[in-house]
Amino acid sequence: MDTNINTEKKVIMLVDDNVTNLTAAREILKDKYKTYPIPSAKVLFDLLEKIIPDMILLDVEMPEMNGFQAIEILKADKRYMDIPVIFLTAQIAENSELEGLSKGAVDYVQKPFIAPLLLRRIENHLLMQEQKNQLKHYNENLEELVSEKTKEIYNLQNAILATVSDMVEFRDDITGGHVSRTQGYLLLLIQELLADGIYKDEIEQWNVDEIIQSAQLHDVGKISISDLILNKPGRLTDEEFKTMQEHVNKGVEIINTIEKKAHINDFLTSAKIIAATHHEKWDGSGYPNGLKGTAIPLEGRLMAIADVYDALVSVRPYKKAFTPAEAERIIIEGRGTHFDSVLVDAFTKVSNEFALLSANR
């Protein structure tokens, strides 16, 4: 047996200046509903301050305040506007019925009452009102439901990116922590650009959270590079370096595969841009496509600084780690050749924060 079923009777207020009508309606309804016989609209509004009914049966013709006047007040008050109102009348005239329905009544019932008809009308309208209330509740909570679902999808997408980027770092043991640090550098640069109003129109079109998360895949193509090259204890030959450069195109291919299988195209758009262009150089001497100047997407130009800086301050088999000051000097020397001059200027303003972040190893 379901003990959660609500067996409490619904509340109906009967408003009529005729005692006989009130008594008759109450007798019909008393077994199924909790009823309140009310002799006038004024008394109705006094009682509404204490009790909100599920329905109001409202006589049209009453002294002092008639039914039309009463329903206008009801529908103008947020507390009462959703209460269904059925008009009671001794004679239904077409014009009167249209006026009542236009003012918000859900139905008319003629007096004297026919018990089965009155009960069915009330039952039907209470059911419709319950359905309307459920729909209203759903709509009010829809934004929250959508937000929760979006968050779930976002977390799933981020988990995919994090797992794939971890796979890269597990293979490339000389770049441990590189992904998370470059994400931090990237965020520092974006925040500084926004603060200075630089490239603001473009950046404000971005979802910055997605940009930062997508940056995790900038080196995903290294998965396809041989361990002999990836972890070679020394400088690469020209041929080996060409093979290493292929990690860019391989990365784009991998991201395309993720898009097709995971159906998260929008989320990975930035990942593909960053992976494809973070080794391009401002003067056109970069790879893989020799893009030049602003032909390089802003995401790639930003990532170029973050990526190079972290490589400079990290130990490699063929070099020691540069100090943050040395790395800053090299970045500045690349102003207008390797890097976008405007971005280098922004970098110099947050170079101390870069240094602090690079120390977290």
Domains within the chain, CATH numbers bracketed: 11-113 (3.40.50.2300), 153-358 (1.10.3210.10)
The string over 292-323, giving b where at least 16 C-beta atoms fall within 10 Å of a residue's C-beta and e elsewhere, is eeeebbbbbbbbbbbbbbbbbbbeeeeeeebe
Residue 346 has pLDDT above 90, yes or no: yes
Whole-number mean pLDDT of the chain?
88
* pLDDT for the residue numbered 342: 97
Confidence category of residue 37, pLDDT binned at 50, 70, 90: very high
359 pLDDT exceeds 90? no
Q: Mean pLDDT throughout 7-33?
A: 93
**Looking at residues 309-327, what average pLDDT do you find?**
88
Mean pLDDT of all residues in 135-147: 76
Q: For position 269, what pLDDT does the model report?
A: 87
Q: State the DSSP code for 224.
A: G
pLDDT of amino acid 54 = 95
- 284 φ/ψ sector (left φ>0, alpha ψ -120 to 50, else beta): left
Half-sphere exposure of 144 (CA within 13 A, CB side): 5
Instruction: Report pLDDT for 155.
Output: 72
Nearest Cα residue to 54 out of 86, 18, 20? 86
Q: Is residue 47 scored above 90 in pLDDT?
A: yes
Q: What per-residue confidence (pLDDT) applies to 174?
A: 52
Note whether 38 and 66 are within 8 A (CB).
no
* Mean pLDDT lowest among 40-54, 168-182, 264-278: 168-182
Query: Residues 314-322: what's their mean pLDDT?
Result: 81
Query: Using 50, 70 and 90 to split pLDDT, how confident is the model at 236?
Result: confident
Give the mean pLDDT of 259-273: 76
Count H helices, E strands: the chain?
16, 5
Phi, psi of 196 (to 5 degrees): -90, -5
pLDDT at 36: 96
* pLDDT score, position 170: 62
**Biggest CA pair distance of the chain:** 106
Confidence grade of residue 5 (pLDDT, cut at 50, 70, 90):
very low
Taking residues 328-357, what's their average pLDDT?
97
Top pLDDT among 138 and 182 is at: 182
Residue 163 has pLDDT above 80, yes or no: no
Percentage above 90 pLDDT, the chain: 60
| Band of residue 2 on the pLDDT scale cut at 50, 70, 90 | very low
Quote the CA–CA distance of 153 and 142 in Å, as a whole number.
16
The end-to-end CA distance of the chain, in Å, is 61
Order of all β-strands in the sheet with 34-38: 34-38, 11-15, 55-59, 85-89, 107-110
Structure tokens that stand for 206 in this block = 């971005």
- The mean pLDDT value for 75-100 works out to 86
The residue-averaged pLDDT of 172-180 equals: 67
Q: Is 120 a residue whose pLDDT tops 80? A: yes
